[in-house]
Amino acid sequence: CAGLMLADTVVDSYILVTRIAWQWLFGRGLYINELMAKKFSLLGCVAMLIAVTAQQRSRKSSFGLLLDAESLTTRVSLALLLSRLLIAVLFLFVGLSELHRLLFQPLTPYLPGDGHDVVWPKAVELLLAIPFTLGFQTTLVARLLAVSLVLEALYAWSWWTIPGDAFSFAHHRRAIHYREHFVTNIATAGGLLLLQKIGGGKYTVDALLKKQD
């Protein structure tokens, strides 16, 4: 099941990278939107799940995925580092680009009340992205980011509450777009909860501080 999830996520990421590259090659600029960044973060979540599951199976643990962070192998720690950086792309890119758009551009391309124009989740997630990227207080920060993503999904991307004619084509397209944001938020929050349970691995500020102690 995890392998199928990884394959699907890799295909999505490949399509996104190809689309971005073609736009850039044809002189349309480097364009990455919020949903693209979220889908890249899912690649990190699924890769982390597979890495931890592989170690759990190799040790035949009876505790599922609840592994001691200190027992993580170098390979799994590298996978956790890569996963953390892929997830961090979401918070850093969305936080910087969207906050710049919301604070310094007088006009918005979205309809009034659109989820893209909600400021507080982007500000909170950008603030937490710095220690998350460095692996400082990884457990606490991952938990806070997961809560923020769930709250954002419920507040900004509640596709079932979109006003307007539910049978119109425009309403249907908007609902699908909101649903994609909602699902990727919840899925990334699940990956963060896994990360807060097992820790960031060996390549974190937390591990460095622990060695010094």
> d(Cα 210, Cα 154) in Å, to the nearest integer?
37
CB 73 within 8 A of CB 100: no
Per-residue pLDDT for 67 more than 70?
no
CB 117 within 8 A of CB 154: no
DSSP state letters, the chain: -HHHHHHHHHHHHHHHHHHHHHHHHTTS-----HHHHHHHHHHHHHHHHHHHHHHHHHHT-SSTT---GGG--HHHHHHHHHHHHHHHHHHHHHHHHHHHHHHH-S--SSPTT-GGG--HHHHHHHHHHHHHHHTSSHHHHHHHHHHHHHHHHHHH--GGG--S-TTSHHHHHHHHHHHHHHHHHHHHHHHHHHHHHH---SSSHHHHHHHH-
- For the ranges 30-34, 132-136, 167-171, the maximum mean pLDDT occurs at 132-136
Q: What pLDDT score was predicted for residue 186?
A: 93
Convert the pLDDT of each residue in 70-124 to its tens digit.
566 777 888 888 888 888 887 888 888 888 887 787 667 777 778 888 888 888 9
Q: How far is CA 152 from CA 53, 68, 155, 162, 168, in A?
A: 29, 31, 5, 15, 26
> d(Cα 139, Cα 80) in Å, to the nearest integer?
13
Q: What pLDDT score was predicted for residue 130?
A: 92
Average pLDDT in the chain: 81
pTM above 0.75, yes or no: yes
Q: What pLDDT score was predicted for residue 43?
A: 81
Q: What pLDDT score was predicted for residue 147?
A: 95
Domain boundaries, the chain: 2-204
Per-residue pLDDT for 62 more than 50?
no
